[in-house]
Chain A
Amino acid sequence: MARRHYPSSARREIVEVMTNSIDTTPRPAVAPGSAERGDAVISTHGLRCSYGSFTAVDGLDLTVHRGELYALLGTNGAGKTTTLEVLEGHRTADAGRVEVLGGDPTDRGRIRPRIGTMLQDSGLAPELTVRESVLLSGAVSGRDDDVDRVLGLVGVDHKARARVAQLSGGERRRVDFAAAVWGTPELVFLDEPTTGLDPAARDALWAVVTELREAGVTFVLTTHYLEEAAENADRIGLMHRGRIRREGTVADLTAGSTTSIRFVAPGPLDGLPLEVARTENDLVVIETDDAQRDLGALLGWAADADRPLARLTVHESGLDDVFRDLSRAS
Chain B
Amino acid sequence: MTTVTRPSPTRSAGSRRRSGPLAIALAELRMLVRNRTVALCALLLPLGFGALTYAFDSYGTAGMLAGVQIIGMVGLGVYVTATTTLAARRQSLYLKRLRSGSVGDAGIIAGLVLPVVAVSVAQLVIVLGVLALREPPVHAGLLIAAVLIAEAMFAGFALATAGFSTSPEHAQYTTMPLYLITLGVAIWWTITGADDLLWLKRILPGGGLMELITLAWNGGDLSLVSVLLAPTLVWAALGALAATKAFRWEPRR
Contact = CB atoms under 8 A, between A and B. Distances in A.
A109 B31 contact: no
B3 A109 contact: no
A138 B103 contact: no
Contacts of A149: 2-3, 6-7
Contact of A20 (B2, B31, B103, B250): B2
Contact of A146 (B11, B34, B95, B108): B11
Given A137-B101, A153-B2, A125 B92 contact: yes
Contact of B102 (A113, A122, A125): A113
A78 to B, nearest CB: 15
A198 interface: no
Interface in B1-52: 1-7, 9, 11-12, 14-15, 17-20, 22-24, 27, 30-31, 34-35
Interface residues of A, number: 52
A90 B102 contact: no
A125 B95 CA distance: 10
A146 B101 contact: no
Contacts of B17: 138-139, 143-144
A148 B14 contact: yes
B92 A21 contact: no
Contacts of B7: 23, 145-146, 149
Interface string A14-33: 00011111110110000000
A135 interface: yes
Interface in A1-46: 17-23, 25-26
A184 interface: yes
Given A123-B97, A147-B14, A212 B19 contact: no
Contacts of A152: 2
B93 interface: yes
B94 A139 contact: no
B1 A125 contact: no
A182 B1 CA distance: 16
A112 B97 CA distance: 12
Nearest to B251: A121
A135 B23 contact: yes
B4 to A, nearest CB: 4
Given A22-B5, A123-B92, A136-B27, A147 B15 contact: yes
Interface stretch (A126-134, A236-244, A250-258, A281-289): A126-134
B30 A128 contact: yes
Given A112-B102, A142-B101, A208-B4, 4 more contacts: A108-B102, A136-B27, A139-B101, A146-B11
Interface of A: 17-23, 25-26, 51, 88, 90, 108-109, 112-113, 117, 119, 121-128, 131-132, 135-149, 152-153, 163, 183-184, 208, 211-212, 215
18 contacts: A23-B5, A23-B6, A23-B7, A90-B250, A112-B101, A119-B93, A122-B97, A124-B97, A125-B94, A132-B27, A135-B23, A139-B18, A139-B24, A139-B101, A140-B98, A143-B6, A144-B15, A153-B3
